Copies of this chain bind each other. A is one copy, B any other.
Amino acid sequence: MPRLSERAQVLQESAIRKLDLTVAKHTDTTFHRLNIGQPDVATPSVILDAFARFQPEVVAYGPASGLPGCRTAAARYHSRWNGALTAADVAVTTGGSEALLFAFTALCDPGDEIIVLEPYYTNYNGFATVAGARITPIRTELADGFALPSDQELDAAVTPRTRALVFSNPANPTGAVYSRAEVQRLAAWAQRHDIFLIADEVYRRIWFDEAPASALELADELQQHVIVVDSMSKTFSACGLRLGFLISRNKTLMEKVERLGQARLGPQPLAQHAAVAALALPDSYYDEVRKTYQGRVDALIEALSVLPGVDLPRPKGAFYAMVRLPVDSSERFARWLVEEFRQDGQSVVVAPGPGFYADPSSGTDEIRLAAVLNEERIRRAAKLLTTALDVYPGRVDAGS
C-alpha cells in the first residue's frame, strides 16, 4: 500500500457524517434532522431564475477572484457595514469553506497556530489540517452566555507562531451574538499582536434581539488586520450554490488570495450570476429571514424548556442551540436516537457536542440543535427528544 500523508490520516471522519450513514440505513423511519445547518427554507426565486437565464454559448472560465460584476455586487452589499469597500476588497470563493481555507493557507505555514473560540464550527479542524496549522482553542462557556475571553486570556494563548484569531458572529454552534465593542476589542487585540482577526460572519443576517457587529464596521486603522468571511449559503438558503466571499482591506493579503485563486482557476460564473441577483434583494427579504428563524428558534426553545435537567441558553443569532443534557454521553445518545429510539416511526438526529471542541473529551453532555425545519416539525422533534430523554438508558440525574 503506497503511503498517504500524515495530514490525510489526521483528518477525522465527521461525527455528523458518520451518523448520516446510519440514518440512511433506516429507511423505515422518518427522521427530523436537527443535526446539520441545512435549512428547509425555500431558496429565493431570483436564484433559480438566474440558473434558467444563464445560457451562454460557451460555459467559460471566469477570473480567479470572481467576475467583476459579482465582486462589485458583493462590495455594494457589504457597504452597509463599510462604505469604503470596493470590488478589490472582495474575492469570490467556492463557499465560505474555501474563503476560510484561503485565509488559513495565506496566513499559516505548517506548524503555525490559529486561536479559535471554542466551541466552534467543526470544519475549522479540517481547514487547519489541510493548511498544516494547529488550532489553539479558548473555551467560551454556556454558563455566561459564551462571553468572549478577556485580553489576558487571549494573551496567554499567543505564541510566536500564532497567526490569527478566528471566531464566528453570530456564533455556530452557540448562537451567541457579539456587539461592536466586543468585536472591536478582539480586533484591537489582534492588531497589538500584529496578527489577523478572521471573523466568520456567514450567519450575520440571522439575529433576534440585537444585530451582530460586522468586523467590517470597525475603524479604518483596524482593517489591515481584519478578514471577513461571508457566504450565500445561510442568508439565501443556498448551501448548494457553493459561493462565498473573502473580504479584506489588506491589499497585500488580497494579492495572495488572488494567487491562491489562480491556482484553482476562477469560481463558477453561473453561481456568481445567481449571487448578483440575490445580493440585490430588498431589505424586506432579510427581515423575512430573521422572522422565519426567530419563529423556529422560539419554537425549539419553548418546546424544550419543559425538560428537567436541561441547560438551554436561548440563541441570540444564527439558528443553532448548544444544549446540555442529563445524559452519560451525547455521542451515545445521538447514536441511540438514530438506531433505537422510535415514536410513531419517527426519530430525531442531533449533532453530538464533542465535534465542536478541539478536545473530544469536552462537550460530552452537550448536543447542537439546528432550527432548520419548520415550526411544526421543530415542535414535533422537540417532543420526540423529550420522550427520548425519559426512556434513554444512559440518562443521568442532574447534579449527579
A285 lies within 8 A of chain B by Cβ: no
Interfacial chain B residues near A196, Cβ < 8 Å:
2
Contact A2 B127 (CB under 8 A): no
Contact B105 A130 (CB under 8 A): yes
Contact A256 B3 (CB under 8 A): no
Interfacial chain B residues near A225, Cβ < 8 Å:
2
Interfacial chain B residues near A129, Cβ < 8 Å:
263
Contact B110 A132 (CB under 8 A): yes
A194 and B60 alpha carbons, distance in the complex (Å): 39
B-contact bits for A1-24, CB 8 A (1 contact / 0 none): 111111111011110010000000
A85 lies within 8 A of chain B by Cβ: no
Point out which of A1, A107, A253, A263 has the most chain B C-beta atoms below 10 A from its C-beta.
Answer: A263
Known: A194-B2, A259-B11. A98 touches B264 (CB 8 A): yes
- The smallest C-beta distance from A284 to any residue of chain B, in angstroms, reads 21
A55 and B47 alpha carbons, distance in the complex (Å): 9
B-contact bits for A59-71, CB 8 A (1 contact / 0 none): 1111010000000
Chain A residues in the interface with B (C-beta under 8 A)? 1-9, 11-14, 17, 36, 38-43, 47-48, 51-52, 54-62, 64, 94-95, 97-98, 101, 105-110, 112, 123, 125-127, 129-130, 132, 163, 190, 194-196, 224-225, 237-242, 250, 252-253, 256, 259-260, 262-271
Interfacial chain B residues near A265, Cβ < 8 Å:
95, 97, 123, 239, 242
Number of copies of this kind of chain in the complex? 2
A264 and B95 alpha carbons, distance in the complex (Å): 8
When the two chains form the complex, which single residue of B42, B51, B106, B242 contacts A5, counting CB atoms closer than 8 Å? B106
Q: What are 21 A-B contacts defined by CB distance under 8 Å?
A: A1-B224, A2-B190, A3-B107, A3-B194, A3-B195, A6-B109, A7-B109, A11-B256, A13-B259, A14-B262, A38-B58, A38-B61, A42-B57, A42-B58, A51-B55, A95-B265, A97-B265, A101-B264, A109-B110, A130-B263, A239-B265
